[in-house]
Amino acid sequence: MNYINLNIMIRHLIVCLVNRNKVMKKIKLLILVLLSAFTLSTQANDGYYMLGFGSISKGMGGTGVAYYKTSLIGNNPAGRAYLGKQFNISTTFLFPTLHYTVTGAPSGGDGTLPLAPGKVGSDVKLIFIPNFGANWQINEKSAFGISAYGNGIAGEYPTQTYWDPTSKTTDIQYYQAYVDPSYSYKINEKHSIGVSAMLMLQLFEVNGLYTFNSLSSDPENVSGNGMDTGFGFGAKIGYLGEIVNGLHIGATYQTRTYASEFKKYAGLLAEQGNLDAPSTWTVGLNYEISDKWKVLFDVQQINYSEVKSLGNGFASAGALGSDNGPGFGWEDMTVFKFGTEYDINEDITLRGGYAFGEEPVRESEVFFNIMAPLVSNQHITLGATKKIGEKSNAINLALSYAPNNTVSGMNPMDPVQKIDLDLEIFELELSFTF
């Protein structure tokens, strides 16, 4: 089981924020109190991005860019203008099952790198992810909000997959912690805009790749160098509006998040350790069939190919770590999301959703993606909210299931072998709104 202390990440990030921007002491204290007890280890759903953030969005298949109630954690900043004063704490439990299977005996040819035949499963069985969101109304037209949430990859195989004599395991840990102070403004009662500063802390560690030192431009910084950290920044803009009675439209664009290089892995990641977060955009609709029933549809685009460490293929020209060095070979990902929400009564709301998209891992890139086979391509979700008392207090629940999916391809270092990557995920999220 892989865990990393979120307290370290959040403290590090907040120190940077406070030193540079004099963020209010109350915000710093609130985030530390709520998050210092948590740990974070993440497994992705859309590549290394989560399907959605917050129980309301996840319960509806990750939709909600056109629904203000999903905006509190990591979604459309324009929606926060309608939230008023509100806080949310959520806890997500992920239960991933990931394997790789190698079939075919090694050829024994010169210059090949065969893998041991058989099926190997990751030791990461339970993942715990906390999120936090807060919103304050400044005046009738504007609001300030902030949330903290994470993305990333975690995979650990109890074997020397690539025959690394220096490590008993083959594993990768890649974590992103975001804090997004946001400002939202009502143009009028039916239209709003918002902007977020995307402040990111990244951590990266890989073990079990010593074999690739001979292919690197910096052999001393390929594998087994411990956890490395980086800080990045970007921005997100959003719009939310009701274009006709009952029909809402929303859109967000998140810029590429530029991050400092991972110096300890400058011989593995392209551009001397660069691992920026790619840009994304989302467009969606929210139609109110009645006062109680809504249907939602979102389209999200994740531009993995603009970051060379993610988009370059394993056969790319250049040595590992060079300006055009090999990467994971991920394709850009378009995700289609459908959701619905129905109010049973004033206290109980039910939700459901479905999302699908082409997995980012290509058949030609299974060899390097053994470390973390991010091959989910569909999700089925359910959710519910139960209000508590007369105030806005509520308990929220979201369930998500990503059925087992397999991507297969040959071993490019010994083409007589076939590699299958398998991933299945069950997710449970509980949150409290107050």
- pLDDT for res 8: 42
How sure is the predictor about 28, in pLDDT bands with cuts at 50, 70 and 90?
Answer: very low
Three-state SS sequence of the chain: CCCEEHHHHHHHHHHHHHHHHCCCHHHHHHHHHHHCCCEECCCCCECCECCCCCHHHHHCCCCCCCCHHHCCCCCCHHHHHHCCCEEEEEEEEEEEEEEEEEECCCCCCCCCCCCCCEEEECCCCCEEEEEEEEEEECCCCEEEEEEEEEEEEEEEECCCCCCCCCCCCEEEEEEEEEECCEEEEEEECCEEEEEEEEEEEEEEEEECCHHHHHHECCHHHCCCCCCEEEEEEEEEEEEEEEEECCEEEEEEEECCEEECCCHHHCCCCHHHHCCCECCEEEEEEEEECCCCEEEEEEEEEECHHHCHHHHCCCCCCCCECCCCCCCCCECCEEEEEEEEEEECCCCEEEEEEEEEECCCECHHHCCHHHHCCCCCCEEEEEEEEEECCCCCCEEEEEEEEEEEEEEEEECCCCCCCEEEEEEEEEEEEEEEEC
- pLDDT for res 12: 45
Mean pLDDT score, 172-195: 95
Structure-block tokens of residue 310: 């993610």
- pLDDT for res 45: 57
Render pLDDT for 344-395 as a digit per residue (tens, 0 to 9): 999 999 999 999 998 899 999 999 999 877 888 999 999 999 999 877 899 9
Q: Is the dihedral of CA 333, 279, 70, 237 positive or negative?
A: negative
| Spatial CA neighbour of 414 closest among 161, 112, 75, 94 | 112
Sequence-separated (6 or more) residues with CB below 8 Å from residue 210? 162, 164, 165, 166, 167, 222, 223, 224
Q: Average model confidence (pLDDT) for the chain?
A: 88
Cβ–Cβ < 8 Å for 226, 170: no
Residue holding tokens 């915000």? 27
Structure-block tokens of residue 37: 């007890």
4-433 belongs to CATH 2.60.120.10 = no
Render pLDDT for 105-140 as a digit per residue (tens, 0 to 9): 999 888 889 999 999 999 988 888 889 999 999 999
- pLDDT for res 46: 61
Mean pLDDT score, 49-64: 93
Q: Is the dihedral of CA 308, 309, 313, 317 positive or negative?
A: positive
What pTM value is reported for the model? Answer: 0.87
- pLDDT for res 205: 95
Determine the Cα–Cα distance for residues 152 and 167; give it in Å rounded to an integer.
Answer: 22
Structure-block tokens of residue 342: 């129905």
How sure is the predictor about 47, in pLDDT bands with cuts at 50, 70 and 90?
Answer: low
Mean pLDDT score, 272-281: 96
Determine the Cα–Cα distance for residues 48 and 176; give it in Å rounded to an integer.
Answer: 10
